[in-house]
Structures are given as C-alpha cells and as structure tokens.
Structure 1
C-alpha cells in the first residue's frame, strides 16, 4: 500500500462526497425552487500549459440563496475536484436513509473529493457562498499527489490530511485573492509544489489518454484499450483503477450517464429513446438501469424534477467558452 496513503488512511473520512455542482443540477424538492429568490454565477478559467495535462479547469461559483434552503442532490460523477468554501460552508448533508434536513455533517472548508459511483445524499445551501474548485482530469489527482485514486472513490477527505499546512495556506490565499486569475495563480503554485515531489512518471500519459477515449465512447473494448497501452488486460485494469479511481467499465458507464443527462438539459425536446441511441446505449432499458444505479430514479422521474435550468446553462456557457479556445478538457 502506498506509504503516503498509509499516513492518512486512519484519519477522519466521510462516506460520500458533497458535490456542489455537476454537469446538471436538480433541486431536491421542486417546491423549494424559487428562481427569483436566489442567484448563482459560475466562472471558469483554464490552467497554464504546465498543468494542462492534469487539471481540466478552475471554477469560481458564487451563490446567494436569499435565506432559502437550496438542496442539491449528489448523483454519480466521473470527475475529481477540490472545493474550497471561501464564504460559508454547506449547512447540512443528508445520506440515504436520513430524513433530517437540519442535522447533518457540516463540511470542512477545503476538501478532496473522488469519483462518485451512485447517489450519495444531498447538500443544503442557505446563505451566501463563494466556492473555488480545482477540477481534475482523469488520473490528474494521482499524477500530482501520487496517492491511489481508488482510496477516494465514494469518499471525501479534509484536504489538510493530504496536503498538510499547505492546504490551510492555500485556503487563506484564496480568501484574500481579488480575482479568479489570482486564485488560479495561488492554486497552481500549490499544485506544482506537489507535482515536483511526485514520483509518478509516464511520459506517454497512456492512462490519461485512454480515459479520454472512454469518456467519449463507452463502447471501446477493454482488450483494445489494453493493447493500445501495451499492457495485459489485467494490468491495464489494475493501473486504470489505481490512477482514475474506478474500473474502466465503471468510468465509461458514469461518463455516459452524465453525457445523457447533459444532452437532455441542452435539448429537452429530445425524447429519452433518442438520447439513449445518441449516447451509445444498446437500448433504452440499459439506460434506465444506469439511471437507477446512479440516481435511484428513472430518467423520466429525474427529468420531472424541477431543473435549475438557468444555473445549468450559465455553467455550461462557462465551460463552452473554454472549449472554444481549443484546449481539450480531457
């Protein structure tokens, strides 16, 4: 077992990640959605070329709930990220089987969140929030910190348990920064420090490149990917899980599920049968199974909830502006 992981494996860890955003956001209860009562703004910025192989982008999300409880469910996602709560923290967190909307875990201001493979509960926001987030590419966290990504799957850790006092220093710098560009500079100094210390070396970025292939097409056979990496199928699956956090098959399923939901929000006029075929599902029943596994709901049940369309499209526009620059996000 990795020595650095052994140093913090017994420290406090949580059973499920509290994600403040996904490609799509649904409010937990339609009755609490009051679009005229709360505002949200998301701004994205690309990393420098030195960190582009590891970091997808940096995000700053500002939210004012105007005194209302805004619930955001945490469904399966195939991305790693580090959120820093610069103003206020998540007020409450419910897990499956918990009915309380008041009692729950108050999250720490700086976290490291791994891939989520299913519904993990809901996060409650109430107040004014400024949340800066480092969004990693597949295998990016492993490549910078040298810690097996599988240790974080369906969990999140206090960042100081991984980065020590450097995490608290970065949080302070982010809180004092006057702009997103300044936040990016502080975050990159932090990341480059750990990258220089990392013993990981792979000049061909094979796992990263193959994860990007799976992200875009879930139908690629594992045998083909292993051959491209010049590895046996067993070794490829082991290395992929170690660096990305889940098996290639699971990663592809979650990425395809997120792609289906993203497509539905972008093109609500399309029916689910069309989306299933567009995203490469064998048939609609296979898509329904994935939705049940990753959200506990069917596609129709999920889309019947009131979507935070304005929030989604604002976030989507921020990400789209990065794609236009020609810098691939994966």
Structure 2
C-alpha cells in the first residue's frame, strides 16, 4: 500500500507498507517505509497496541518521554521500542527516510534478546545481530533504492533472525492477545485466563514477559485505539457515543483515560486534529499527532 501523507504546502511524505508472509505474519502487522519532507517535525504519540523496530536511513531522530525526568535520546541507526503506556514525543529530521516494523504487542520477543519488560515505555539501540542487519540494509539500499525493494530486504532480515523455537508462554500470549485484539479489549482478563485454562496470575506473568504490560493494561490500550481511530475530525464528534461504542461506560473515566493517554482533553485533541488534518490513509497505528 502506498499513500502520500501531507499536512499543508510545506512538505509531503510517501508511506509504503507491506504485510509480511508466514511465518512473520504471526508476529508483525506490517513493514513500512516513510520518505520525504515532513510538514510537521514534532509529533506526539499516544499509547498504541504495538511494539516497533525502526531503521533510520536518513538523518538522526530525537525522542523524549512525556516523563520529563527521562533524558531525551538522539538515535541515528536502528532502535527497538516496546509497548508504551503514556505519550512520548519524536522529532523528524528535515528529510526522512525511515523503515519501520509494526510488531504485534507480543511479536518482538522472537527477534531480539532484549526483554519486553526492559523496553516498556523505553527505546533502545538495536542489539549486535540487528546492527549487522542495519549495516547490510544500508549497503544494499544505498541512497535511492525503491521503497518496495527496501521492504523486501527488511523482510528477509526478519526471517533470518526469527527464533526457531517460541519462548515459553509466547503461544499463550499470542492466543489470548489475539482475543483482546479481536474484541478491542472487551474480554475480561478472568475470562481470558479461564478460556486458556490457566490462572490469572500465570497469564499476567506471561503477558509481562512477552509484551511488557499486563493483559488489563493491554485491554485498555486496545479500547483506546478503537476510539481514537473512530474520530473523524472533519465532522461533528459525539464523544459520549464514541466512548460508549468503544466500551467506556463511565464518561468521567473515559475523560481521565483520554487525558492520560494523549495529554489532551477530547476537546483539545479535536481542535488540534482540525488544525493539522491527517490524510485518510496512513500508518496503521494512526496515533501520531502534530505537537505544538
């Protein structure tokens, strides 16, 4: 899939994505390439149900946490990013050439020795095996390889680094996580554990090991993601109706969680989206919004 993402007259970026074939499709939603000059360099990203691998083939990217006690980072090659439970920020370079991998929440562990718990609300430079992969991709892609060819290279590297045997508990997390995904977080954790034939404590421990978060936290993020992708900023928004359809039955709870995940009230968020409209086709996780 290819789409041109623009936000005014000052720049545009092309987004090309590729859904991987088996066996990678168990762990990865899509691989994408983002190139061009961004209209808005500073972006705020709310929590979304995915982990990421980024390979930057252009200039350095600056990232920082909404927890201002954490030092910002400047990353130039490749980095892993786990599940986030609060917003973070990144700043594009003036010219972007970025390859990203959208892992399913449980999908990163077969590809890196870094733990999901270690990467929760964090980013980290790629480990040694992936640094070799980044170098190979840089050499093969050069400065002007087509996006589709670059994505095929990344898929080949992912296949070569996929662990042959799943880690303990990964099949359980994949199965129950898929139920959360399909229900947009509506299945109670107790029901998940009962259907899987394990205790709630065991399920929670496996989720922390393979996603970095508890199943309850993941359910919250899936519910929020369902709501945020339903917002059409070009039309009147009935927040109460959207919140109820996403599974929020207490408006005060919805408002608190929205502020926790975005840093904005729903009204503030909608005003920002209307100032900086997003193209209807774009990255699967949809969440990044321009920050002022």
Classify the TM-score, shorter chain: 0.7 to 0.9
Work out the CA distance in 2 between the residues paired with 1:206 and 1:96. 32
Gaps of 5+ in 1: 1-24, 26-32, 321-330
SS in 1 for 2:17: strand
TM-score by length of 1: 0.74
Q: For the residues of structure 2 that align with 1:35 and 1:56, how far apart are their CA atoms?
A: 29
Alpha-carbon distance in 2 for matches of 1:94, 1:196? 31
- Which structure 2 residues correspond to residues 11-50 of structure 1 after superposition, within 5 A? 35-50=8-23
1:205 corresponds to: 171
Structure 2: gaps of 5 or more residues: 287-292
Q: TM-score, normalised by structure 2?
A: 0.83
The alignment partner of 1:42 has SS state of: strand
Query: Is 1:244 aligned to residue 211 of structure 2?
Result: yes
Residues 319 and 272 (structure 1), Cα distance of their counterparts in 2 relative to 1, 3 Å cut: closer
Q: 2:82 aligns with which of 90, 114, 136?
A: 114
Matched residue of 2:26: which SS? coil
Matches within 5 A, 1:155-166: 155-161=122-128, 163-166=130-133
Aligned-pair Cα RMSD in Å: 2.9
**Structure 1 position 183, deviation (Å):** 2.0
**Equivalences for residues 135-174 of structure 1 within 5 A:** 135-145=102-112, 147-161=114-128, 163-174=130-141
Please tell me whether residue 220 in structure 1 is matched to residue 151 in structure 2: no
Q: Secondary structure at the match of 1:184?
A: helix
2-side partners of 1:228 and 1:176: how far apart?
A: 50
CA contact (8 A) 1:143 1:243 kept: no
Task: Determine which structure has the larger strand proportion and give its number.
Answer: 2
With over 3 angstroms needed to count, the CA separation of the structure-2 counterparts of 1:241 and 1:105, relative to structure 1, is: closer
Residue deviations 1:199-219 (CA, integer Å, cap 9, x gap): 5267x9331131122133323
